[in-house]
């Protein structure tokens, strides 16, 4: 096993303090590890030092306790990375405009680490990516910048994050942690590190295999969401309720796992990770037909939902042009504040392109930030939820089913509701259309 570097101030440093990095830094600190959290965003570091959590599922109180009761430090000083036994990279891996992988965040993190890399350190990548990224791309920038050799002078590993914001069963310390190492010695160092904070570490044969595990998990969801979205479109003209079908099928105790239809897929993993494999497969002259088809179906769902609204308005001799439409939810999934890759913005864009006057309500996303996938909406604020405000709209589209929203009140004040999430009670006050 590669020996640890002596005299380190921190046992682990986390690079990238977002939805993955903050929970991990807290988990290591709460497990008794001397933990450093690093991010280049000075405002983020300042907020974390003040125990102001940017994540709904991480309370200010828990963050304050981590800072007060445990050895947890937040910094934007990359020089402190040299004082850690291990460095865990938790940075985004987006797609470029033509659905090819963007490794800039990973490689920039590697270049930031390299000058401070010392013999005996462990570097572990958590970011979702295609097989070969850790072994080839990250390894190259680390070795070139440090003049050290991975697997001999320092340990290199990959362990995919499995964070699922909004899921009460997604407890980081309880979630089995898949780990792959560049060598057996690297794997052992990574296993020992993660075992400090996670109860069950699952070792696999290589970093490439660990990278493939993460892709398979998200591709599985991506394809099955595409399948149930397609079935919704097929069953509707037959007069069959897809939600009733899924509910009844779920009573089978084996061989079936429920997935639910919606307006598409969003977030930092599901709509992105499958295309990492699609891109990599082309290198081997292979096609990923299931992924491509599921992608086409999922991307078509916003247009499908908008078409239901247009048709319903036409039925009432109300053109979509100049109609006031309220979109419910811009977060990519229920009960979280993350709107990255949210298909709600596609719904809003399509409505605006057809001349509708579009507002949104989302208590968890009070203002649309600069990372929005549609520049037009940046800076727009959620409306205030009042009966008077709701009554101003000719129609509403439910895109994200937050539990904190009163959908009965929505139906009581808006005459037409397109419900893509099966959450609006059917009553006489409003016409509610499943989409």
* Cβ neighbours around 24 below 10 Å, total: 24
Dist CA 333 CA 19 (whole Å): 14
227's tokens: 């399948």
Phi, psi (deg, nearest 5) at residue 21: -65, -40
Q: How many residues does the chain have?
A: 435
**Among the listed residues 144, 124, 114, 115, the one whose alpha carbon sits nearest the alpha carbon of residue 2:** 124
How far is residue 397 from each of residues 243, 289, 386, measured CA to CA in Å?
18, 32, 17
- Of 8, 203, 269, 421, the active-site residue reads 269
Measure CA 75 to chain center: 24
Tell me if residue 186 is catalytic. Answer: no
Residues forming the active site: 269
């Amino acid at each position: 096993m590669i020996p640890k570097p002596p005299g380190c101030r921190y046992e682990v440093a986390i690079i990238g303090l977002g939805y993955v990095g903050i929970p991990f830094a807290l988990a290591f600190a709460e497990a008794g590890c001397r933990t450093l959290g690093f991010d280049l965003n000075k405002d983020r570091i300042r907020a974390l030092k003040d125990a102001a959590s940017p994540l709904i599922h991480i309370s200010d109180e828990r963050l304050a306790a981590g800072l007060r009761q445990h050895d947890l430090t937040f910094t934007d000083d990359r020089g402190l990375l040299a004082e850690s036994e291990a460095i865990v990279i938790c940075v985004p891996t987006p797609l470029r405009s033509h659905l090819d992988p963007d490794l800039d965040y990973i490689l920039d993190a590697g270049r930031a680490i390299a000058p401070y890399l010392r013999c005996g350190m462990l570097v572990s990548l958590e970011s979702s990516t295609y097989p070969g990224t850790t072994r080839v791309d990250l390894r190259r920038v680390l070795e070139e910048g440090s003049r050290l050799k991975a697997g001999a002078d320092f340990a290199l590993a990959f362990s995919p994050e499995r964070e699922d914001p909004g899921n009460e069963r997604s407890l980081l310390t309880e979630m089995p942690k898949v780990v792959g190492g560049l060598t057996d010695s690297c794997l052992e160092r990574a296993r020992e590190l993660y075992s400090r904070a996670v109860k069950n570490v699952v070792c696999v044969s290589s970093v490439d295999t660990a990278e493939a595990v993460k892709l398979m998990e998200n591709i599985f969801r991506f394809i099955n969401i595409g399948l149930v979205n397609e079935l919704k479109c097929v069953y509707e003209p037959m007069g069959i309720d897809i939600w009733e079908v899924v509910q009844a099928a779920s009573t089978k105790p084996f061989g079936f796992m429920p997935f639910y239809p919606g307006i598409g897929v969003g977030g930092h993993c599901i709509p992105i990770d499958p295309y990492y494999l699609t891109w990599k497969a082309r290198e081997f002259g292979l096609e990923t037909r299931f992924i491509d088809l599921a992608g086409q179906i999922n991307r078509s769902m916003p247009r499908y939902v908008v078409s239901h609204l247009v048709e319903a308005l036409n039925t009432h001799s109300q053109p979509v042009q100049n109609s006031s439409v309220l979109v419910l939810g811009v977060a990519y999934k229920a009960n979280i504040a993350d709107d990255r890759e949210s298909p709600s913005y596609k719904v809003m864009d399509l409505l605006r392109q057809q001349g509708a006057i579009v507002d949104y309500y989302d208590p968890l996303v009070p203002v649309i930030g600069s990372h929005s996938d549609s520049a037009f909406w940046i800076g727009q604020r959620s409306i205030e939820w009042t009966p008077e405000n709701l009554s101003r709209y000719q129609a509403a589209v439910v895109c994200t089913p937050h539990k904190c929203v009163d959908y009965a009140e929505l139906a009581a004040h808006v005459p037409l509701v397109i419900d893509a999430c099966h959450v609006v009670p059917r009553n006489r006050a409003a016409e509610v259309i499943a989409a």
